[in-house]
Amino acid sequence: MDDFLKEFFPKIYRRKQESLTETDYCKYDNQLLTLFTSSLYFAGLISTFGASYVTRIYGRKGSILVGGISFFFGGVINAASVNILMLIIGRILLGAGIGFGN
């Protein structure tokens, strides 16, 4: 966690190290971190609507295939991330993969 924070969220890492008496709610209070965390869940929720359409037209096999491809590319993008935007895009693709997989 610390290496991840150092790389992508250095302000949060510094605040975490400086404020040892604060609660975790105060240390991790950051809009960008919240966007990163919730993007997976929100993308999964929204993609289920698209998955119902794909499943109706192409069946379960098509839906699972789209979900698997989306999840794969999301993992690749997250593994190769060099900035926060790439992390968020990867998380959105992971969420879409989960939504289609369900």
Beta carbons of 77 and 86 less than 8 angstroms apart? yes
- The string of pLDDT tens digits covering residues 33-68 is 888 889 999 999 999 999 999 999 999 999 999 999
95: nearest Cα among 39, 36, 51: 39
Please state the domain extents for the chain. 30-101
- The string of pLDDT tens digits covering residues 74-96 is 999 999 999 999 999 999 999 99
Alpha-carbon distance of 81 to 34, in angstroms, equals 18
93: nearest Cα among 29, 76, 81: 76
pTM: 0.83
